[in-house]
Amino acid sequence: MTCFIKANYPVKLEFINSYATEPQKNNFIYWNDYAVSLAKLGKINQAKTTLNHPGFENLTIGEKSVKNATLDLIEFRAGNAVEGRKLYNIAINEFENRGELISTAIATYYLAFEEKHINSEEADKRIKQAKERLGKFNYPVYKYLAKML
């Protein structure tokens, strides 16, 4: 997920289309990144279609959580904050229940970012929660994410 910090989404889509190897094109994370870029550009239907790629029925538990985290972004960008919140909370709980604390922190960051993006009443609470979770890790990228909120 952290690859989307300050991403230039049109360039990212072009890069994905032009330079990905065939094994990468058969990888769920490749298509997930593509769907995130589409959603960030407002191409909601294309993003949904990309995530429902027929080859992704048998995802790992971790990949399913990542997919949920992307579906919630898509819902927020489609104007459906209630569904987006619900899906983010599912993804966050799944990561947390498996002890994937970095993924929990990153998903919490993206939920806070989307809440802030729509100026919701939940934004301040989510931002505080994201900063607390990100602050547990001594990595510059997580400190940067916290400052971005």
With contact defined as beta carbons under 8 Å apart, do 68 and 38 qualify? no
Assess whether pLDDT exceeds 80 at residue 130: yes
With contact defined as beta carbons under 8 Å apart, do 4 and 40 qualify? yes
Assess whether pLDDT exceeds 80 at residue 15: no
Q: What is the mean pLDDT of residues 7-26?
A: 60
For residue range 29-72, what is the model confidence (pLDDT) as tens digits? Answer: 888 888 888 888 888 999 998 888 777 778 888 888 888 889 98
Give the other-Cβ count within 10 Å of 59's Cβ.
14
pTM: 0.79
With contact defined as beta carbons under 8 Å apart, do 73 and 84 qualify? yes
Residue with tokens 């993003």: 47
Distance from the Cα of residue 45 to its chain's centroid: 17
CA 130 – CA 26 distance, rounded (Å): 32
3-state secondary structure of 63: helix
CA 35 – CA 15 distance, rounded (Å): 14
